[in-house]
Amino acid sequence: MEDIQMIQEMLTNHTMQTDRDAAVMLPLVREADQSLSLLFEVRSLSMRSQPGEICFPGGRIDPDDKTPEAAASRELCEELGLSLTDIHMLSPLEPIMSPRRGTIFPFVCYIAEPNKICPNQAEVSSTFRIPLTYLLENPPEEHQTSFHFTFSEDFPLHLIANRSAYTDRKQTYTEHVFHYDGRVIWGLTARIMVTFLSILKAK
């Protein structure tokens, strides 16, 4: 393996693995008074992963999905009973890295006829909306969450320079929590919302 050109070709033709990567959609809908709201899902209690929690439409990127955008659109249609013609794509947001879930690709879309929404009860128990003005005027709570790193007994920590810096290492993150009408939104969903709302506030 000493051929630089061969290595370059391997790197150029390399395709990122997407077995854990996911794509989500932030759907905007217009209310009767012409104001805009952000639509959320409540996950079905029968779901193995995060039952009953609040999220945006989305899921893992399948091998058949040509792009993360295609995956987000497909998942939204499957979960909300819509077709691709019901979705008006607005823009991608900055991808988010998650240690457990790979890369999350968020997109913002507009659903012109929300009355067509018919949630797939196997995945979505219900949907609800939060006015965009409320989210812009009511910032989330900020809480600190810490993660502790530990090494297995056979890890060669004694061979690492400055190993004392990694012993009982702790990393702290800021966790955002939104409250609305008795509902709590946190985790990756809240993190994506913070990015989206910060762009709107900056403009």
On average, the pLDDT of the chain sits at 90
- For residue 86, pLDDT over 80 is answered with yes
pLDDT in tens, 16-56: 555 679 999 999 999 999 999 999 999 987 777 777 799 99
The one-letter code for the residue type at 107 is F
Q: Which of 131, 116, 181, 177 is nearest to 28 (CA)?
A: 131
Least confident of 63-77, 122-136, 168-182: 168-182
Return the pLDDT at 60.
Answer: 92
- Please give the Cα distance from 7 to 160 (Å, whole number): 30
List domains and CATH numbers for the chain.
16-202 (3.90.79.10)
3-state secondary structure (DSSP) of residue 185 = strand
Task: Enumerate the β-bridge partners of residue 124.
Answer: 43
